[in-house]
């Protein structure tokens, strides 16, 4: 990689894409391009083709996707499978046809089977059935992984897939109806603190275990893949460490400074007991996360406080 190489980040306004952009700039990369969804509809093959022919990127990082929680996946299965396949198929195929040598495809740990052994290893892909609530999104992402693998095999190009664990950080979604567990907790504790340290009620027993990676560490992993030719087609990206949801809640409570009671509503479901990534492949190459959970939550909370006015106005 040369610092002047043209790098196109698809999804550059999202939490992950914007973090990748910031890390690249900090490392001296000078030729980074992006387009908003209004400027370029990645579902539209002709628009994507025209963009590639005009811009001629040297590298493509695909951080673009239609995403959502369990409710959205259940209610809009066709959009989740079709739009994600349209986005990634257009990017992958047109990058190949335009002789892009390096392509980094970002996916999700949901590509692995629902009942796979813990921690999740890359070789568990396609060994059993998926979690039904998000299989539409997972199947789309699996096709992206396999397309990049096929290009490596057939055309010997450096197309690689990175599968992150649960990500959080600055520019996250803090809408209580649509956000993931960590940002939702952070907002709940903030609002309870503002409301005289009112009690906070959380779903389940607090016993399930989850792994969390700060988004800047994910961005560093992408740049690591950019600057090195990785020998395998698929890599998990995470911390290799997990904690209970109860421990997560108590950590967020401490960072926010909420001193009220914490109540667990055990009539609500817990979900999967454990979801941990095996990250030995990335570790063996020399990449490792740098930001521990408490520091990452503090960074996220600082950003949240600085943007609270805009966050309260957003209704996703």
What is the 3-state secondary structure of the chain?
CCCCCCEEEECCCCHHHHHHHHHHHHCCCCCEECCCCCCCCCCCHHHHHHHHHHHCCCEEEECCCCCCCHHHHHHCHHHHHHHHHHHHHHHHHHHHHCCCCEEEEECCHHHCCCCCCCCECHHHCCCCCCCHHHHHHHHHHHHHHHHHHHHHHHHCCEEEEEEECEEECCCCCCCCCCCCHHHHHHHHHHHHHHCCCCCEEEECCCCCEECEEEHHHHHHHHHHHHHCCCCCCEEEECCCCCEEHHHHHHHHHHHHCCCCCEEEECCCCCCCCEECECCHHHHHHCCCCCCCHHHHHHHHHHHHHHCHHHHHHCCC
Q: Is 259 part of any known ligand binding site?
A: no
Q: Is 16 part of any known ligand binding site?
A: yes
Q: Is 254 part of any known ligand binding site?
A: no
Q: How far apart are CA 172 and CA 14, in angstroms?
A: 8
Q: Is 158 part of any known ligand binding site?
A: no
Q: Is 210 part of any known ligand binding site?
A: yes
Q: Is 188 part of any known ligand binding site?
A: yes
Q: Is 165 part of any known ligand binding site?
A: yes
Q: Is 14 part of any known ligand binding site?
A: yes
Q: Is 13 part of any known ligand binding site?
A: yes
Q: Is 180 part of any known ligand binding site?
A: yes
Q: Is 141 part of any known ligand binding site?
A: yes
Active site residues: 137
Q: Is 164 part of any known ligand binding site?
A: yes
Q: How far apart are CA 131 and CA 123, in angstroms?
A: 17
Q: Is 49 part of any known ligand binding site?
A: no
Q: Is 203 part of any known ligand binding site?
A: yes
Q: Residues marked as binding?
A: 11-17, 106-109, 141, 164-167, 180, 188, 203, 210, 270
Q: Residues marked as binding for NADP(+)?
A: 11-17, 106-109, 141, 164-167, 180
Q: Residues marked as binding for substrate?
A: 188, 203, 210, 270
């Amino acid at each position: 990689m040369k610092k002047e190489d043209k790098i196109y980040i698809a999804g550059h306004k999202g939490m992950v894409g914007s973090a990748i952009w910031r890390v690249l700039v900090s490392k001296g990369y000078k030729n980074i391009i992006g387009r908003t969804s209004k400027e370029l509809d990645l579902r539209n093959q002709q628009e994507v083709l025209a963009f590639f022919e005009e811009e001629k990127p040297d590298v493509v990082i695909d951080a673009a996707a239609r995403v959502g929680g369990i409710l959205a996946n259940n209610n809009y299965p066709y959009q989740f499978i079709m739009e994600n396949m349209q986005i990634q198929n257009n990017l992958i195929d047109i990058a190949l046809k335009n002789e892009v040598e390096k392509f980094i495809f970002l996916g999700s740990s949901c590509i692995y089977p629902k009942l796979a052994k813990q921690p999740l290893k890359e070789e568990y892909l396609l060994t059993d059935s998926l979690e039904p609530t998000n299989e539409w999104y997972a199947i789309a992402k699996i096709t992206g992984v396999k397309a990049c693998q096929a290009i490596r095999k057939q055309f010997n190009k450096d197309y690689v897939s990175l599968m992150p664990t649960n990500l959080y950080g600055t520019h996250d979604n803090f809408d209580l109806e649509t956000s993931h567990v960590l940002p939702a907790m952070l907002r709940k504790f903030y609002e309870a603190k503002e409301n005289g340290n009112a009690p906070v009620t959380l779903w389940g027993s607090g016993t399930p275990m989850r792994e969390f990676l700060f988004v800047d560490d994910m961005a560093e992993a992408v740049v690591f893949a950019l600057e090195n030719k990785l020998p395998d087609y698929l890599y998990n990206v995470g911390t290799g460490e997990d904690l209970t949801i109860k421990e997560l809640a108590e950590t967020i409570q401490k960072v926010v400074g909420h001193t009220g009671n914490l109540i667990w509503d055990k009539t609500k479901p817990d979900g999967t007991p454990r979801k941990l990534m095996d990250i030995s492949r990335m570790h063996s190459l020399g990449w490792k996360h740098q930001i521990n959970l408490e520091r990452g939550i503090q960074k996220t909370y600082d950003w949240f406080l600085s943007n609270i006015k805009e966050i309260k106005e957003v209704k996703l």
